[in-house]
Structure 1
Amino acid sequence: MEDQINSTLADDELIEIFRHLDSIYSRDACSLVCKRWLYLEGLSRNTVQFGRSGKTDTTIRLFADRFVNIQSVYINETSSSSSTKLGKRRRGIGSSTTTRFGRGSNKNACDSKTGTSCLSDSGLETVGGRFAKLEKLSLIWCSDVTDLGLRSFAEKCKTLKSLDLQGCYIGDEGLAAVGACCSGLNDLNLRFCEGLTDKGLVVLALGSGRTLKSLGVAACANITDVSLEVVGSHCKSLETLSLDSETIHDKGLLAVAKGCPMLKVLKLQCINLTDEALQAVGSFCLSLELLALYSFHKFTDRSLYAIGKGCSRLKNLTLSDCYFLSNEGMHFVAIGCQKLVHVEVNGCHNIGTSGLKSIGKFCSGLSELSLLYCQRIDNDALSEIGNGCKFLQALHLVDCSNIGDFAICCIARGCSNLRKLHIRRCYEVGNKGITAIGQNCKFLSDLSIRFCDSIGNEALISIGEGCPSLQHLNVSGCNQIGDAGIMAISRGCPQLSYLDISVLQKVSDRALIDLGDGCPFLKDIVISHCREITNIGLSYLARSCMLLESCQLVYCPGITETGIATLITSCTRMKKVLVEKWKVSERTKRHAGSIINYLCVDL
């Protein structure tokens, strides 16, 4: 049979096709077609990720030989669950393509006695020397890497633009080498780097400060205001600063605010900062677009007054556990920062209804609002949001006891473009509010109403009839919902890909059978603690929803090892099943042991 593809398509055309494949498995399969495809598919990849595999250094050398265009390397040695899970990637045109390696170990540290080998200094040197086009390196909890390895890497990889050293035991000498050799460094993340002091960061700022645009420092006890003063003096292009520290005071942030006029993103969790520092930000950082303040007990409304007065370009504001900020401060921000598109208020107990009403009145472009643990915010606040913020697309409510159906109805009528609604433990929200969402928000794609006891089938019937674009649904703990509600979703929402119906005692096999018929694109389902679901419903769902990738079904007494076996054999794309160990037969373990996760109940 004539090979029409190889004789027709040029190398660059095949490479472009490989780059647009949305599955790592599809790309691997293509590389097995012939030697030409193996070679070209290797050229198409620009990102590689490693977990702890036992042979990290050796694997790096093998990958360097095949994937010669790699620009980004990620090495995560925390655990197998976080570093090696394959998972799916959503990519657009021009986005990177990733190779992942390693099944990993469940241990939290490397163990030479059992033969487990983490990334060494030699392996890191290989990364710098063999990946000639490398621009981005992320080392997460790579405990065997030392200053010697980082220095050798920096000397060989002078094109580096981004470096993440989270949890690595490197010191000042290694960081100083990066500053001396990598003059084009743009992005630096230092988190849990306990060996670093001001000396290392100062030398890096002196060497790479001209190009540095993003800096993150967290839990580095020996990095103080001294470092930030040098950053303020030499990093004039800095745009993003993230600080989580108990050793940073006003002096350091003042230096950055005065010396880095291009600052756009500022995230702070520093218990020793006061109003003086934030007032400087408001005075000097006129380009600021994102401000996030976490756990401040020394900031008052004076800070928000300064932000509102000077930062008219602010688009994103997060206030978390800032106990001395009040409605007055929110009013200042709303008047001065009318370009706000994202606002999150989390546990700020002195911010109430009038503060949020100001946001609704002056920030007409608001697209996302999150209110978490806000006991002083009531229906009138969301009524104003519904009236003034017609472009709102996402609303998150958690433990807001004074918000009920009236507020949700106002949002539904005023914000018809709403795409995402997440509500958790808001017990005053019931059928009336969610029914209004179904009647008015036709573009809703993500609905989560967890542990809202007053919501029942009536609400889901409205969603099923009015929201055909729904893809994600979480109704965990809504005890009034039964088969009728889930069946309405299955018949009206054919695009559904994620469903959580855990702890619903009124849902039975009838609902799963309808889901199998109506939701062919379902990929993830959680049915734990559902006592009325049996092998019959699960088997029908497994045979009908061929795209299923994950399933959690613990504490379902009607599901036995027969149902689990059917699920595993029917769903060839399955990547994760969470179940009790005693429900998995030895044959199923042999067939698919790598994707089965067990509920830990042993003491």
Structure 2
Amino acid sequence: MKGHDRINSSLPDELILEIFRYLDTKPSRDAASLVCKRWLGLERLSRDTIRIGASGSPDGLVKMLSSRFPHVRNVFIDERRSITLPFQFGKRRRADHSALSPLKLQFAAGKTGPEDYETETYYLSDAGLAVVGDGFSKLEKLSLIWCSNVTSLGLRSIAEKCNALKSLDLQGCYVGDQGLAAVGEWCKQLEDLNLRFCEGLTDTGLVNLALGCRRKLKSLGVAACAKITDVSLEAVGSYCQSLETLSLDSEFIHNKGVLAVAKGCRVLKVLKLQCINVTDEALEAVGIFCNTLEFLALYSFQRFTDKSLCAIGKGCKRLKNLTLSDCYFLSDKGLEAVAVGCTELTHLEVNGCHNIGTFGLESIGRSCASLSELALLYCQKIGNFALSEIGRGCKFLQALHLVDCSSIGDDAIISIAKGCRNLKKLHIRRCYEVGSKGIVAVGESCKFLTDLSLRFCDKIGDEALVAIGNCHSLRYLNVSGCHHIGDAGIIAIARGCPELSYLDVSVLQNLGDMAMAEMSEGCPMLKDIVLSHCRQITDVGLSYLVSRCTLLETCHMVYCPGITTVGVATVVASCANIKKVLVERWKVSQRTRRRAGSTISYLCVDL
């Protein structure tokens, strides 16, 4: 009956709160909260996560949010990106102080002109952090990314008031030892700690934290902390025996620290190291003591040899994910040891390890049948036969990334296509021996392909995309720099891949308006398109494209001489969801700038 509330009169608060918990996205929750005041209040009570970017008054914003959402358990504050202060909240734009809210006026004092309001950025302070502690007493996860004004005083206030804290991310915060020691003293439930780029910390702070959180700490990340040395890692190894994840990026860590962790943290599962002063001795200890290791990433090591990987292969039988980046003294022998010993391997990345060649990867193909993702970057010595072995032995491969692998050509891709029919992602960049023949095989055999990137592979032409048109689940396509591709290839994609949401056709000189018209007809789900350096696409093609691709959110079209101010205005006016348009400044009319200035980005201000 009209005017009769059948829901609120029948459903108790507990049931409505349970319904809110099933609404995963913030827009859905916001929409539901607008039904009535009761639902608004209940939604606020049910919300457990808030995210705050840089703002004109983060302290005031935190205070307001804490009063509205008292049961929040997760707070994320990220000040890497600043925002501009709005000029007005009414109908007309004004340049005087009355156009600003009282909250922002307190920060505007002393500025000389309205333009200063647009560029000034303000930061969370210790007082604001104290408000977080007072308002969110049930806080379990706190992330403070590049909050440069936060000090030990603010961190101590959080520690004293939020004893249930389990995760703390202090990336880029200049906090001191006293604050970290307070966390160790009061937050005994802490499990996850990120100290990347915390330049104010020394061994004193981390040792005290390890002593305080010894029973619970499971994850620790340290990077660019010049005063944190082996002393800290020795404390972690001695006290934090439950540690499962360790990420280290430091030139001040040596074997002594890593050895202490390997011997003391026997349940370690994830180890990421970028430590130029660590040698084989440390990795051999990891292989001996860390039998539960599942993820190992080694970056920029100049002192590791095959002895390290042999120890890992012998001792870490559960290893599933291995990344080797710029480790110049590792060879096929080490990779073979991993293949033979770590048969559960599912992810492998080899990046810039110039002594690893075909034989090492053949071993992976023969022994690691569960491999699902393979990335080979700047591997000049790995040839076709290596991927042929992967195709024969790794039937579950779903993702393959190849970058600057000059010895890999069509024969390798054909082997992958025929052997790995469940392939979903294929990314190839600057592999100049890969041509249409290999990609045709992918289109014929890999029907589940959803993500294809063929950047600057200049032997690939239209016939390749005609075959890819048979992959009806394709959602992502990047053929930037494949200058033999023209209208015929893109038209085949438009007619065969209705779920396509991302398309990059930049630097395709033979692509014209006909392809854009076909994309409009066949790909209504398109959200992102990159058209830069396409000289034959004009305003007419753009008008065709946006007539039916109404979900478009981003459009890059710099250095397209056929696109004028009319085309830019058409995109802005036709796409209600548009978020970013990248174009030359001179192609944006005053009217378009007024209408959608916040969505337009400029590559070059002088064009």
5 Å-filtered alignment, 1:113-132, equals 116-132=121-137
Are positions 1:39 and 2:41 aligned together? yes
How far residue 27 of structure 1 moved from its aligned partner, in angstroms, is 3.5
Report if the CA contact (8 A) 2:184-2:208 is conserved: yes
Q: What letter corresponds to residue 246 of structure 2 in structure 1?
A: L
2:206 is aligned, of 184, 197, 201, to 201
Residue number in structure 1 paired with 2:550: 546
Deviation for aligned residue 1:50: 1.2
Q: Aligned residue for 2:293? A: 288
**TM-score between both structures, scaled by the size of structure 1:** 0.93
Instruction: Give the direction of change, closer, same or farther, for the CA distance of 1:31–1:561 in structure 2 (3 Å limit).
Output: farther
Tell me the distance in 2 between the aligned counterparts of 1:190 and 1:472: 35
1:270 to 246, 271, 275: 275
The letter for the 2-side match of 1:279 is: E
Structure 1: tracts of 5 or more residues without a match: 83-104
**Higher gyration radius (CA):** 2
1:494-543 deviations in Å (ceiling 9; x for gaps):
11111111111111111111111111111111111111111122122212
| Structure 2 residue identity aligned to 1:491 | R
Match of 1:307 in 2: 312
> 1:576 matched to which residue of 2?
580
Give the structure 2 partner of residue 78 of structure 1. 80
Task: Say which of 459, 463, 478 aligns to 2:464.
Answer: 459
1:252 aligned residue:
257
In the TM superposition, what are the counterparts of 1:474-489 in structure 2 within 5 Å?
474-489=478-493
Structure 2: tracts of 5 or more residues without a match: 85-103
2:517 matches 1:513: yes
- Tell me whether 412-421 or 127-136 shows the greater mean CA deviation: 127-136
**Counterpart secondary structure, 1:80:** coil
Deviates more, 1:593-602 or 1:418-427: 593-602
Alignment of 1:437-448 (within 5 A): 437-448=442-453
Maintained 8 Å contact 1:111/1:117: no
**Which among 69, 83, 86 is matched to residue 67 of structure 1?**
69
Q: Distance in 2 between matches of 1:219 and 1:456?
A: 46
Taking structure 1 as reference, are residues 211 and 360 closer, same or farther at Cα in structure 2, changes over 3 Å only? same
Residue among 142, 151, 154 paired with 2:159? 154
- Looking at structure 2, the residues matched to 480 and 111 of structure 1 have their Cα atoms a distance apart, in angstroms, of 59
Structure 1: distance between partners of 2:24 and 2:529: 22
Task: Determine if contact 2:170/2:198 at 8 Å carries over to the other structure.
Answer: yes
Residue in structure 2 matching 1:143, options 143, 148, 154: 148
Structural mapping, 1:490-569, within 5 Å: 490-569=494-573
- CA-to-partner distance for each residue in 1:198-245, whole Å, 9 max, x for gaps? 000000000012100000000000000000001000000000000000
8 Å CA contact 1:288–1:314 kept in 2: the answer is yes
So what's the TM-score if we normalise by structure 2? 0.92
For residues 327-374 of structure 1, the C-alpha deviation after alignment (integer angstroms, 9 at most, x for no partner) is: 000111100000000000000000000000000000010000000000
Query: How much does 1:600 deviate?
Result: 2.9
Per-residue displacement from partner, 1:290-317 (whole Å, max 9, x unpaired)? 0000000100000001000000000000
Q: Distance in 2 between matches of 1:542 and 1:43?
A: 42
Identity among equivalent pairs (%) = 69
* Corresponding residue for residue 99 of structure 2: none
1:423 and 2:425 aligned: no
* Letter matched to residue 80 of structure 1: S
Shift of 1:595: 1.8
Between 119-128 and 37-46, the greater mean CA deviation after superposition: 37-46
Determine if contact 2:82/2:121 at 8 Å carries over to the other structure. Answer: no
- Please show how residues 51-450 of structure 1 align to structure 2 within 5 Å: 51-80=53-82, 116-450=121-455
Q: Is the 8 A contact 1:240 1:263 kept in 2?
A: yes
Q: Distance in 1 between matches of 2:45 and 2:572?
A: 35
Shift of 1:602: 4.0
Structure 1 residue 29: Cα displacement:
3.5
* CA–CA distance in structure 1, aligned partners of residues 517 and 428 of structure 2: 27
Q: Look up the equivalent residue of 2:249 and give its one-letter code.
A: D
Q: Secondary structure at the match of 2:469?
A: helix
CA distance in 2, matches of 1:500, 1:136: 38
SS where residue 148 of structure 2 aligns?
coil
Contact 2:222 2:247 in 1 (8 A): yes
Rounded Cα–Cα distance in structure 2 between residues aligned with 1:21 and 1:584: 40
In structure 2, give the amino acid aligned to 1:56: P
Structure 1 position 79, deviation (Å): 1.8
Q: What is the count of residue pairs matched by the alignment?
A: 576
**Which whole-Å CA distance do the structure 2 matches of 1:162 and 1:25 have between them?**
26
Name the aligned partner's letter for residue 500 of structure 2.
Answer: L
Q: 1:468 aligns with which of 465, 469, 472?
A: 472
Give the one of 586, 593, 602 matched to 1:598: 602
Q: 1:25 to 1:243 in 2, by over 3 A?
A: same
1:78-128 Cα offsets, whole Å, 9 max, x none, are: 22389xxxxxxxxxxxxxxxxxxxxxx9xxxx9996664310101001111
Residue 94 (structure 2) aligns with: none
1:47-95 superposed Cα distances (whole Å, 9 cap, x missing partner)? 211111111011111111222222211111122389xxxxxxxxxxxxx
- SS in structure 2 at match of 1:395: strand
* Cα distance in 2 for residues equivalent to 1:74 and 1:229: 31
| 8 Å Cα contact 2:54-2:83 kept in structure 1 | no
For residue 345 of structure 1, what is the amino acid of its counterpart?
A: V
Whole-Å separation in 2 of the counterparts to 1:147 and 1:352: 50
Secondary structure (helix, strand or coil) at the match of 2:447 reads: coil
Question: Following the alignment from structure 1 to structure 2, what is the Cα–Cα distance between the partners of residues 80 and 414?
Answer: 49
* Alpha carbons 1:398, 1:423 under 8 Å: kept: yes
Counterpart Cα distance in 1 of 2:326 and 2:46: 46
